[in-house]
Amino acid sequence: MIPRLADRYRVIAPDLPGFGFTEVPVERGYHYSFEALAKTMLAFTDALKLKRYALYVFDYGAPTGFRLAMSHPERVTAIVSQNGNAYEEGLGSAWALIQRYWREPSTENREVIRQALDFAGIRSQYTDGMPHPERIDPAGYTLDAALMARPGNMDIQLDLFLDYANNVKLYPAFQKYFRKFKPPLLAIWGRHDPYFIPAGAEAFKKDNPNAAVQMLDTSHFALEHGRAVHLLTCGCTPDLQFRWNPHPERSEEPAL
């Protein structure tokens, strides 16, 4: 999607610490929590002197990006949330093991989740709920599995699973931000996502009259479906062209 947007926007796509190819030296003693991720992203935007930007958030990027928006609402011109949840009604049944870990953060419950993050488990995050899972490019989940296998990375993910409970506690604050600032927001969602279900997308409209919802016949990793990329980059999604790019010329306003 990035190359298809880059002719119209300045697109900046940082990997969060613990994800992709972002590495944090062990000697820094970085504490992996969503609050820490948000502080890192805020420092990143400050280092680049980004004063106004639209946010594209997905999954863990949502509670991270919404924290940025709350800390500097004047900077955020629009939000696209692709399966990026902010409502308890949006939590699907796939969270059951993790919610048990929240209630009982024991070594035993941690190990149950660790076992679920093997190659088959990572692949299922891409394929479960997809109408044609055989069409999913294996490159994405194969790379994810390779990055997960790096020393220490599995425990980073397990720490963040545990800390996600603090995001749920912060959901009311996110919702208050939506009500107060009413940012133009597009919730584009895979209707078969077992993690963040459609009710979470529809809920944005309760708090933000400037929210629009687009459901796709896909799952959690919606951009693995070509139609999602097409809708997001061609302006075919309801209100997207106006909300995301109100000027016909190339926008220098960053999309983060």
**Which residues are catalytically annotated?**
220
Q: H/E element holding 144?
A: helix 138-148
Nearest one of 32, 219, 80, 64 to 141, comparing CA atoms: 219
d(Cα 22, Cα 20) in Å, to the nearest integer? 6
d(CA 114, CA 97): 11
Q: What are the angstrom distances between the C-alpha of 214 and each of 54, 79, 187, 227, 236?
A: 18, 14, 6, 12, 11
139-to-12, 84, 136, 146 alpha-carbon distances in Å:
22, 23, 9, 10
Question: Between helices 153-181 and 34-47, what is the axis angle to 10°?
Answer: 70
Put residue 20 in one of left, alpha, beta given phi > 0 → left and psi -120 to 50 → alpha.
left
- Whole-number CA gyration radius for the chain: 18
